[in-house]
């Protein structure tokens, strides 16, 4: 079968590899659609490690079940979507005609009238949804037992990212009384309100910090979905109460969770804001791995949380409580994914996911 793979000191490209067979607990999936994430093109452009199948997000049809897949959970012929660890080994990435995935990292598509449309949309969900769960449930809201009764404020910087749009929706569901401030370019503001934001701001505005401070909110929780350059510092400045505020600035810390390592942050944080934590969605996939020359052990809590959140997606989609991020269907299939990488690299993918069709299902 064909797979889109990293190559030693060369741009990624198509290779012929054998069809992967499911290990215990895995599903074999005929891939219908894939969506692209920044991590895919970043790994691919480093061309390290070579000979690995690229890609994390997919949808398709179950073609075989490994042993130990819980009875009644999945059957051959089910339409599913999910997440795999792209660029990790030579047979499990998403950008392939067939993949194998941990059954717990997959969810069934709801039954609706337009199966093709659902497959297209569902392949955009996995990474964004589990990343949001890591940032919110596992970090910012971790110690809050009665989270749904909390009346607090969450600031999402670069909220029109895939991660940001999933975080808004997830926060709205899991922490309904949270006041959500979404910071993104103005063309996305209407959509961000529809997804659940309470107020929106433009990160390019010279009065951003003052405008957010004028809300008079006590902002303890921040999520920086851009996490490059000065973005975390700007997010942190927005969280500091303004001069004429009644907010009590003495009761506890303010935290910003990042989507990239703290070493990628530039500038100085204002006093009272901590931003040394970041998420890594790969830790949710249940297996140890190397990333940027560092060894990461399996993290059962991340895995169990991701499994629970992915499983719940079926019902949330069915009930219309989660709306997949808007997507652009790209021309071509596996062989054209490099063009999608070019689009992402040049900053032309804003507020949308790029999707490729890999195969038609019967």
Ligand X SMILES: NC(=O)c1ccc[n+]([C@@H]2O[C@H](COP(=O)([O-])OP(=O)(O)OC[C@H]3O[C@@H](n4cnc5c(N)ncnc54)[C@H](OP(=O)(O)O)[C@@H]3O)[C@@H](O)[C@H]2O)c1
Q: Which of 233, 238, 187, 194 is nearest to 212 (CA)?
A: 238
As given in the structure block, the two tokens for residue 235 are: 């997010």
Rounded Cα gap, residues 242 and 238, in angstroms: 9
Binding of ligand X by 28 (CB under 6 A): no
Return the beta strands (E) in 114-252 as ranges. 153-157, 179-183, 199-201, 219-224
Q: Does 279 bind ligand X (CB under 6 A)?
A: yes
Closer of 25 and 38 to ligand X (Cβ): 38
Report the C-alpha gap between 197 and 282 in whole angstroms.
27
Q: Examine residue 260 and tell whether it contacts ligand X (CB under 6 A).
A: yes
Q: Nearest approach, Cβ of 132 to ligand X (angstroms)?
A: 9
The CB-of-259 to ligand X minimum distance in angstroms stands at 3
Burial of 145 (0-12, 13-18, 19+ CB in 10 A): exposed
Residue from 160, 239, 337, 355 binding ligand X (CB under 6 A): 160
User: Does the footprint of ligand X cover residue 280 (CB under 6 A)?
Assistant: yes
Peptide bond connecting 49 to the previous residue in cis, omega within 30 degrees of 0: yes
Q: Which residues of 28-45 are buried (b: 16+ CB within 10 A; e: fewer)?
A: bbbbbbbbbbbbbbebbe
Among 137, 161, 170, 200, binds ligand X (CB under 6 A): 161
The answer to whether residue 138 forms part of the interface with ligand X (CB under 6 A) is: no
For the CB of residue 260, give the shortest distance to ligand X in the complex, in Å.
5
Q: Tell me whether residue 149 or residue 266 sits nearer to ligand X (CB atom).
A: 266
Q: Give the residue, chosen from 193, 203, 289, 291, that forms a contact with ligand X under the rule CB under 6 A.
A: 203
Of 189, 188, 186, 167, which is closest to residue 178 (Cα–Cα)?
167
| Sole binder of ligand X in the list 59, 98, 131, 178 (CB under 6 A) | 131
Choice between 28 and 200, CB closer to ligand X = 200
Kindly state whether residue 170 participates in binding ligand X, applying the rule CB under 6 A: no
Stretch that binds ligand X, among 91-99, 267-275, 278-286, 303-311 (CB under 6 A): 278-286
CA gap 220, 252 in Å, rounded: 8
- Alpha-carbon torsion, ordered 76, 79, 80, 84, to 10 deg: 70
Binding mask 214-243 for ligand X (x = CB under 6 A): -----------xxx---x------------
Residues near ligand X (CB under 6 A) are 37-39, 127, 131, 158, 160-163, 184-185, 188, 203, 225-227, 231, 259-260, 279-281, 349-351
């Amino acid at each position: 079968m064909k797979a889109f793979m990293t190559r030693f000191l060369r741009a990624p490209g198509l290779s012929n590899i054998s069809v992967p067979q499911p290990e215990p607990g895995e599903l074999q999936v005929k891939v219908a659609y894939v969506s692209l994430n920044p991590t895919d093109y970043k790994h691919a452009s480093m061309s390290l490690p070579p000979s690995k199948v690229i890609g994390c997000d997919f949808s398709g049809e179950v073609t075989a079940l490994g042993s130990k897949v819980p009875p009644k959970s999945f059957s051959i012929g089910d339409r599913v979507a999910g997440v795999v660890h792209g660029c990790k080994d030579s047979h499990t990435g998403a950008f392939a005609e067939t993949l194998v995935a941990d059954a717990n990292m997959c969810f069934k598509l709801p039954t609706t009238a337009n199966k093709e449309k659902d497959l297209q949309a569902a392949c955009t969900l996995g990474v964004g949804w589990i990343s949001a769960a890591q940032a919110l449930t596992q970090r910012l809201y971790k110690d809050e037992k009665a989270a749904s009764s909390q009346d607090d404020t969450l600031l999402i910087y670069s909220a029109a990212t895939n991660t940001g749009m999933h975080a808004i929706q997830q926060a709205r569901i899991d922490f309904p009384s949270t006041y959500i401030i979404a910071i993104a370019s103005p063309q996305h503001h209407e959509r961000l309100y529809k997804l659940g934001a309470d107020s929106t701001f433009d990160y390019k505005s010279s009065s951003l910090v003052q405008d957010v401070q004028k809300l008079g909110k006590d902002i303890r929780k921040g999520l920086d979905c851009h996490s490059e350059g000065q973005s975390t510092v700007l997010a942190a400045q927005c969280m500091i109460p303004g001069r004429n505020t009644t907010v009590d600035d003495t009761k506890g810390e303010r935290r910003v969770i990042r989507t990239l390592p703290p070493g990628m942050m530039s500038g100085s944080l204002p006093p009272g804001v901590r931003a040394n934590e970041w998420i890594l969605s790969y830790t949710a996939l249940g297996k140890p791995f190397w990333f940027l020359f560092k060894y990461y052990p399996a993290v059962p809590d991340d895995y169990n949380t991701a499994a629970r959140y992915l499983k719940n997606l079926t019902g949330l989609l069915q009930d219309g409580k989660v709306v997949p991020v808007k997507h652009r269907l790209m021309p071509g299939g596996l062989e054209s994914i490099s063009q999608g990488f070019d689009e992402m690299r040049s900053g032309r993918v804003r507020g949308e996911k790029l999707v490729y069709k890999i195969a038609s299902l019967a």
